[in-house]
Structure 1
Amino acid sequence: MTTTTTVTVKAFSFLQEPVEGKIVIKSPNSISHQSIRLSVNGSVNLQVRGGSAGVIESFYGVIKPIQIVKKTIQVRSSGRIPPGTTEIPFSVNLRESGESIAEKFYETFHGTNINIQYLLTVDIPRGYLHKPLSATMEFIIESGRVDLPERPLPPEMVIFYITQDTQRHPLLPEIKSGGFRVTGKLATQCSLQDPLSGELTVEASSVPITSIDIHLLRVESIIVGERIVTEISLIQSTQVNYYPFMQQL
């Protein structure tokens, strides 16, 4: 007999909705069980990937995982499941009434060194003579737009500039002597569902410019004692074509 158990849930904004989904049990024969339990686990962990260890990775084993949520509910008591496909809906509230979510919950995050993950596990014990059934899957926690700080209209923009004096890496002699100046502005608040918006203007350059690269970086930080350890990694790189007769992009 081949029996498979799968769990499906929908992504949701946790401040507005409970975790909702269904347990799908497929079996050619009827199944007797002692109970059907659903567990929710969420935690923050450091993770070590292949390659050379970074600054944050050097603290792996020192920083213990942070438990965000851990609870188990009984979806059904003992009984029997008929042959074929059986779907059992469920709904789980991650927070209790009056609990401060802002101090406890974090959005799902899979970074280079830091991992914030929420898992659903279904356990169906069947007694000593039968192998228990189990399935685990990840669900996504994300904040809804209504929970973001109210941003002014139009969106608040930060003005920046780039010159030869702001660069920390070595420059070609002709660039260092002739100089350049790039100015722009960027929106400081943005939903993950919206694009990043801003402006970039090349005001002057002593050498020809053929293209401009815009990098999106991920910044991960942990607190170790009285220190804040930070690592930066590249997420996305976009090249913007530049034409001499067009100064504003």
Structure 2
Amino acid sequence: MSKMATIDIRLKKVNKIYTDGDLVAGVVVVDSGRSDFQHQGITLSMEGAVSLQLSAKSVGLFEAFYNSLKPIQLINYSLEVAKPGKLPSGKTEIPFEIPLKGKPNKPLYETYHGVFVNIQYSLKVDVKRSLLNKDLQKQCEFIVEYKEQDTKAKVKSVPFSITPDTLTNVKEKQNVPSFKIKGTLNSASISISKPLQGELIVEHCNAPIKSIELQLVRVETCGCAEGYAKDATEIQNIQIADGDVCRGITIPIHMIFPRLFTCPTLSTNNFKVEFEVNIVVVFHDDHLVTENFPIKLTRF
């Protein structure tokens, strides 16, 4: 019956969110079924790392860099939670506490699930068993966030006006219909826990509009002495207007930042994580125009 034994990690914090210096506390739960459970020791380890990878288009450009893309280790700590011995039948809970502290001179970055940059923290429990029995292993991810800052960044609104003349990503401007869209973003520096807000107005447009969308983009940069690879990928796309909107009507802009796919804007020697917002106007013939706004995410 011991072969049916299972293992789990349960954290005291339901939301699994911690900041630098916190105690990560919980229990290792061993369910040994109806018989005693013999083991050769139970070890719990805490790991945190930044993993980097290059996009397919960049691999050929930086072969030397590609071969040196090793994970950046932020935390690597382990402790023995139970010495070799025997656990009784049924469920056994073994409590643990591990301080969340990074390596010397290595700050802890916020948890972030990107495409080419990933910052993840996890607890892993290993149960060693005799040769005839399979070792047991369980992993549990937890989330690291910066502490809320007392000082608030100055909020400065960002007015914008989009016309065919302001477009920089269109080659044949003579094919673009005459239009003018003006509006405001409440700020270019935004707390990640608050929404991006603003408004826009279609003053005039001589072609029917199909849709107006708000696109959130991550710009991830990986690099070293050999060079830097920079890639932009879409996180989410929200439609803020459908159909040929009335001219002169105020359209609200409101976007909530998805937690694991965004983090405070980050710049280090080896990688960067930055964010941009695109306002996309799609015309009825499916042609579209885009206006780009770099934004800075903070936690304050």
Report the TM-score, using the length of structure 2 for normalisation. 0.68
Cα separation, 1, equivalents of 2:186 and 2:180: 20
Cα separation, 1, equivalents of 2:5 and 2:42: 15
Gaps of 5+ in 2: 252-300
Change in 2 beyond 3 A, CA 1:15/1:73: same
Deviation of the 1:104 alpha carbon: 1.9
Higher mean displacement: 167-176 or 83-92 = 167-176
Q: Which residue of 2 aligns with 1:233?
A: 233
Amino acid at match of 1:230: K
Cα separation, 1, equivalents of 2:231 and 2:59: 7
CA displacement 1:208-241 (0-9 Å, x = unmatched):
4343111111111122327443111111111122
Q: Which residue of 2 aligns with 1:41?
A: 47
- The counterpart of 2:24, out of the listed 19, 23, 28, is 19
- The counterpart of 2:76, out of the listed 51, 61, 70, is 70
Q: Which residue of 2 aligns with 1:141?
A: 144
Cα separation, 1, equivalents of 2:30 and 2:161: 59
Cα separation, 1, equivalents of 2:220 and 2:59: 9
8 Å contact kept, 2:202–2:247: no
8 Å contact kept, 2:41–2:128: yes
Q: Which residue of 2 aligns with 1:196?
A: 196
Cα separation, 2, equivalents of 1:148 and 1:114: 29
Provide the identity percentage.
Answer: 33
Cα separation, 2, equivalents of 1:147 and 1:57: 42
Cα separation, 2, equivalents of 1:215 and 1:238: 6
Report the TM-score, using the length of structure 1 for normalisation. 0.81
Amino acid at match of 1:85: K
8 Å contact kept, 1:34–1:79: yes
Deviation of the 1:99 alpha carbon: 5.7
Q: Does 1:151 align with 2:153?
A: yes
CA displacement 1:60-114 (0-9 Å, x = unmatched):
4332211111111122333331111112222211217x966xx421111111122
8 Å contact kept, 2:21–2:100: no
Higher mean displacement: 188-197 or 105-114 = 188-197
Cα separation, 2, equivalents of 1:112 and 1:79: 43
Cα separation, 2, equivalents of 1:148 and 1:197: 22
Cα separation, 1, equivalents of 2:161 and 2:248: 18
Amino acid at match of 1:111: G
Q: Which residue of 1 aligns with 2:6?
A: 4
Cα separation, 2, equivalents of 1:201 and 1:246: 6
Higher mean displacement: 165-174 or 26-35 = 165-174
Change in 2 beyond 3 A, CA 1:190/1:44: same
CA displacement 1:31-61 (0-9 Å, x = unmatched):
233432111111111247xxx8133796543
Q: Which residue of 1 aligns with 2:166?
A: 166
Change in 2 beyond 3 A, CA 1:34/1:129: same
Q: Which residue of 1 aligns with 2:246?
A: 244
Cα separation, 1, equivalents of 2:238 and 2:18: 29
Q: List 4+ stretches of structure 1 deviating above 4 A.
A: 56-59, 127-130
Q: Which residue of 1 aligns with 2:298?
A: none
8 Å contact kept, 2:53–2:69: no
Cα separation, 2, equivalents of 1:171 and 1:230: 27
